[in-house]
Amino acid sequence: MLPWGASSLAKGVVVKNVLKLVLGFVLAGGLLWWFFRDVDLESVAHDVGEARWGWLGACLALTLLHYFFRALRWRLLLRPLKRGISIQVLVEGVLAGYAVSFLLPGRLGELVRPAFLARRERLSMTGTLATVGVDRLLDGATLTVFLVVFLVLAPGIANGIPLAMARNLRLGGIVVGGGMAALLMGLSLAALYRRRLPALRLDGSWRDRALGMLRSSLEALSALHGVRPLAGAILGSLLIWLVLAAQAWTGIRAFGIDLPFTSSFGLIAVLAVGIAIPTPAGAGGFHAVGGAFLIQAYGVDPSLAVAAILVLHLISVVPSIILGGVVLAREGISLGELAGQRAPDMTEAPVEGQP
């Protein structure tokens, strides 16, 4: 059983989370209205019916493959804590985290994922949580690189983007990417000196908690020391986002939208922003930015763009919810129980070899 704390729901937290959920639905409704506002729904339905099943099948397969590569990279980051963790367990943790993030407000899945693994593998919760933070840092750096590559290789996207804006976006992407790379390198170097931090006294004070998280983060980054581990993390990150780029590209190809593969680099960048908007399952945000990208940057017919993004969202989200829901149900984890808490209980799980 995962350490979610007491089974009774805290009324105040429930009300707060319900309010967040309601606001998320309202925001999603507004964005979906904007997404559908200028299209003929009959044309959208016709385009969905004409989608090519072979391309959609490839899109679904790539969605599932992406979970595997995420698990591989996570296992690399977890090496300082434990080696040889089962890929199946890691995939289940990824799926459980996605399902909770899509269904509940507050990105709670980012805590469910490490809590799940900490209990299954008897790891430090703080250390496991730190690996998720490094995981997200690698995602941000890699996605920024993809955006820069897109802006460099696709200068002709300015159908709806002024050339001056495209240049500014390119420069901004280079600056942000360089900054994130410098941050990652700096933290990796700092990890060499993590043992010089004061010994932790886990008495619950904010200082000790902060030092504990810092040490755990540096411990996670120590997994990247050496040419092979660092190359593995970089390769893993590139594979994750190349698979997601291919997933998006096959998704739109299913609707006869014939764009170069590099267009998917820009598409996944804007979709990552859209799905981060706090709406249930990224609904509305994913649709609005994805549709706008295809229509404004490439002049895709609005009805066709809406149909493609609508189906791409379903393929991106529904497998995570179904498979992650199966994992949660098997572990006896209730979404209602999770909704009644601010976060999973952060109490340290017993570490291997300790009572």
User: Taking 50 as the threshold, does the pLDDT of residue 255 lie above it?
Assistant: yes
Asked if residue 5 belongs to a domain, the reply is no
pLDDT at 151: 78
Buried b (16+ CB within 10 A) or exposed e, 148-175: bebbeebeebeeeeeeeebeebbeebbe
The whole-model pTM stands at 0.81
Higher pLDDT, 185 or 62: 62
pLDDT at 354: 41
Asked if residue 226 belongs to a domain, the reply is yes
Phi, psi of 209, rounded to the nearest 5 degrees:
-65, -45
Average pLDDT on 99-116 reads: 85
Asked if residue 1 belongs to a domain, the reply is no
Average pLDDT on 16-37 reads: 87
| Amino acid letter, residue 50 | E
pLDDT at 197: 47
Model confidence at 38, pLDDT cuts 50, 70, 90, reads: confident
Question: For residue 131, what are the domain limits?
Answer: 11-339
User: Taking 50 as the threshold, does the pLDDT of residue 115 lie above it?
Assistant: yes
Ranges 71-75, 153-157, 243-247: which has the least confidence: 153-157
User: Taking 60 as the threshold, does the pLDDT of residue 187 lie above it?
Assistant: no
Instruction: Determine contact, residues 128/117, Cβ cutoff 8 Å.
Output: yes
Q: Which residues contact 68 (CB under 8 A, 6 or more apart)?
A: 87, 91
Model confidence at 6, pLDDT cuts 50, 70, 90, reads: very low
Asked if residue 344 belongs to a domain, the reply is no
Highest mean pLDDT among 9-13, 59-63, 118-122: 59-63
Asked if residue 2 belongs to a domain, the reply is no
Model confidence at 108, pLDDT cuts 50, 70, 90, reads: confident
Q: Which residues contact 129 (CB under 8 A, 6 or more apart)?
A: 111, 114, 213, 216, 346
User: Taking 60 as the threshold, does the pLDDT of residue 206 lie above it?
Assistant: no
Asked if residue 347 belongs to a domain, the reply is no
pLDDT tens digits along 281-294: 899 999 999 999 99
pLDDT tens digits along 52-92: 999 999 999 999 999 999 999 999 888 888 888 999 999 99
Task: Please give the mean pLDDT across all residues of the chain.
Answer: 79
Model confidence at 256, pLDDT cuts 50, 70, 90, reads: very high
User: Taking 60 as the threshold, does the pLDDT of residue 8 lie above it?
Assistant: no
pLDDT at 14: 61
Asked if residue 195 belongs to a domain, the reply is yes
Asked if residue 163 belongs to a domain, the reply is yes
Instruction: Give me the torsion for CA of 141, 144, 149, 155, rounded to 10°.
Output: -170
Model confidence at 50, pLDDT cuts 50, 70, 90, reads: very high
| Amino acid letter, residue 23 | L
Token output for 140 = 């941000």
What number of other Cβ atoms are within 10 A of residue 87's Cβ? 13
| Angle, CA of 148, 149 and 152, to the nearest 5° | 85
User: Taking 60 as the threshold, does the pLDDT of residue 249 lie above it?
Assistant: yes
Residues written for the chain? 355
How many domains in the chain? 1
Model confidence at 297, pLDDT cuts 50, 70, 90, reads: confident
Average pLDDT on 264-276 reads: 92
Average pLDDT on 128-140 reads: 85
